[in-house]
Structure 1
Amino acid sequence: MTQPTRIVLATRNAHKVEELRDILADVLERTGLDLVPVTDFPELEDVVESGVTFAANATLKAEAVRDATGLPALADDSGLAVDVLGGSPGVFSARWSGVSGADKDAANNALLLAQLGDVPDQHRAAGFVCAAALAVPGQDTIVREGAVRGALGREPIGSNGFGYDPLLVLPDGRTLAQLTAQEKHEISHRGRAFRALAEDIAAAFA
């Protein structure tokens, strides 16, 4: 089989593309792979995230893109799990408010803060979870997971993140959105999951 030169990232989120090019920079250089977003394949339709776990949704997306393009594919599914909400928003994090488009993040954050308005600080524990999947033609799909824990703040703070990043307060008192890109990659759920998956990428394409 001819060694592929591209690996497709199954997301239309430009923030994720930028993050993952940074997180995977070393293994991409080692393997000579070019990480390209699924938007480079305009004929592909969005995959319905019908799984009930992060791992299931990541697998669905990676395998759909692999099968449609014939190229190796990466995908992730991630979200915020709030303890007092029984792990919600969980796999519904991106759709929590029902709002789409440019206002989605602000609407999701506002709804979650309203739902937890009366919850005292000692019961606001929460964390991000990420499942990252690698789907390679002719091979079994591999999934790795990562997590970061903290507590839900009472207002969005910080401008360096996206999604719920401005709400998760870390043990050092900063939110995920107050970290530099490098600091975030070192501790974030997505950074941990994809750094683990980087070894699988290296093994598949070394």
Structure 2
Amino acid sequence: MSAAPRRVVLATHNAHKVEELRKILGLELGDIELIGYDGPEPVEDGVTFAENALIKARAAHRHTGLPALADDSGISVDALGGAPGIHSARYAGTRDDRDNRMLLLERLGDERDRSARFECAAAFVTDGFEHVELGIWPGRVLREERGTNGFGYDPVFSPDGMDGSSAELTPDEKNAVSHRSRAFRAILPTVREHLS
């Protein structure tokens, strides 16, 4: 008789994100069951991706009593001093992905230095233990949108080594190399160690 799966709550109300993470980690999850979170959303008042990820993971752990995973991510552009950074989702003030992209392109204008990176902090919180791993996906901001896959800033972000945008990658291609996959693959061994 096989052991029951060990449950870990993913601190998001976004069912798509739970499914995306299951796909990213796939077989690596083994007997770990990722479940969605239905509790209150905390105020994300950290000043780094890591701080905000920990705020979310702590809230989910406190509410459910289960070990919790959370992430916080965004795009940081060198010529804009690292903006939009932790404000990526609300950059234009509307929470609309296209508005955010248009404002980013407008603020960059004809800037020659278009280097940027997607960043993701993955946080794990369980009784008396907290850990964070960072995933970085370097690239540059294009001058116009390309591609229809993905979401957020994908249509204007060109990963290092690619001519096109991350919105021109298939979901599987993106999941193999993205900042989110790098962060969560890095934290998974720690999660396993603390669930055993």
Q: TM-score, normalised by structure 2?
A: 0.92
Q: Does 1:193 align with 2:192?
A: no
Q: Distance in 2 between matches of 1:45 and 1:148?
A: 30
Partner amino acid for 2:90? R
Match of 1:58 among 31, 44, 53: 53
The offset of 1:4, in angstroms, is 7.1
Partner amino acid for 1:184? K
Partner amino acid for 2:32? L
Aligned to 1:140: 129
The offset of 1:24, in angstroms, is 2.0
Aligned to 1:164: 153
Native 8 Å contact 2:45 2:52 kept in 1: yes
Partner amino acid for 1:154? R
Native 8 Å contact 2:134 2:183 kept in 1: yes
Q: Distance in 2 between matches of 1:143 and 1:108?
A: 27
Aligned to 1:24: 25
Aligned to 2:108: 116
Instruction: Summarize deviations over 1:26-80 as a string: whole Å, max 9, x none.
Output: 2322xx2221121xx2xx2211110000000000100111011101111001110
Native 8 Å contact 1:27 1:201 kept in 2: no
Q: Distance in 2 between matches of 1:55 and 1:88?
A: 16
- Give the direction of change, closer, same or farther, for the CA distance of 1:37–1:114 in structure 2 (3 Å limit): same
Partner amino acid for 2:17? K
Structure 1: tracts of 5 or more residues without a match:
none
The offset of 1:5, in angstroms, is 3.5
Cα RMSD of the aligned pairs, angstroms, is 1.5
Q: Distance in 1 between matches of 2:176 and 2:103?
A: 29
Aligned to 2:140: 151
Show the 5 A alignment for 1:90-109. 90-100=85-95, 104-109=96-101
Q: Does 1:130 align with 2:130?
A: no
Native 8 Å contact 1:4 1:71 kept in 2: no
Percent identity, please: 49
Q: Does 1:81 align with 2:80?
A: no
The offset of 1:153, in angstroms, is 0.7
SS in 2 for 1:182: helix
Instruction: Summarize deviations over 1:113-138 as a string: whole Å, max 9, x none.
Output: 11112213xx11101011000111x2
Q: Distance in 2 between matches of 1:166 and 1:154?
A: 10
Displaced runs of 4+ in structure 1, greater than 3 A?
Answer: none
Instruction: Summarize deviations over 1:153-196 as a string: whole Å, max 9, x none.
Output: 12221122111111111222121111122221221111100000
